[in-house]
Amino acid sequence: MLGWAITFLVIALIAAVLGFGGIAGASAGIAQILFFVFLILFVIAMISRAVRGKPPV
């Protein structure tokens, strides 16, 4: 998931440099959504691991 967010961020940066504002904005929005989904899933995974009694690695 984080890999996809970084990919869309790179696409947004390249599109912004080349002057494609609409594509850059859309790609940046997608990257932001994917990043926040990644963070939420990461926190849920860490909480579930702690509840099961396994120490964080």
The total number of structural domains that make up the chain: 1
17 domain-assigned: yes
Q: Is the pLDDT of residue 57 over 80?
A: no
Q: Is 57 inside a domain boundary?
A: no
- Tell me whether residue 56 is in a domain: no
Residue 18, exposed/middle/buried by CB under 10 A (0-12, 13-18, 19+)? Answer: exposed
How far from 3 is each of 8, 34, 41, CA to CA, in Å?
9, 9, 14
Domain that holds residue 41: 2-51
Q: Which residue has the tokens 């989904």?
A: 37
pLDDT digits (tens, 9 = 90+) for 2-18: 888 889 889 999 999 99
Q: With CA atoms as reference, report the closest residue to 25 among 7, 46, 11.
A: 11
Q: What percent of the chain has pLDDT over 90?
A: 54
What pTM was computed for the model?
0.74
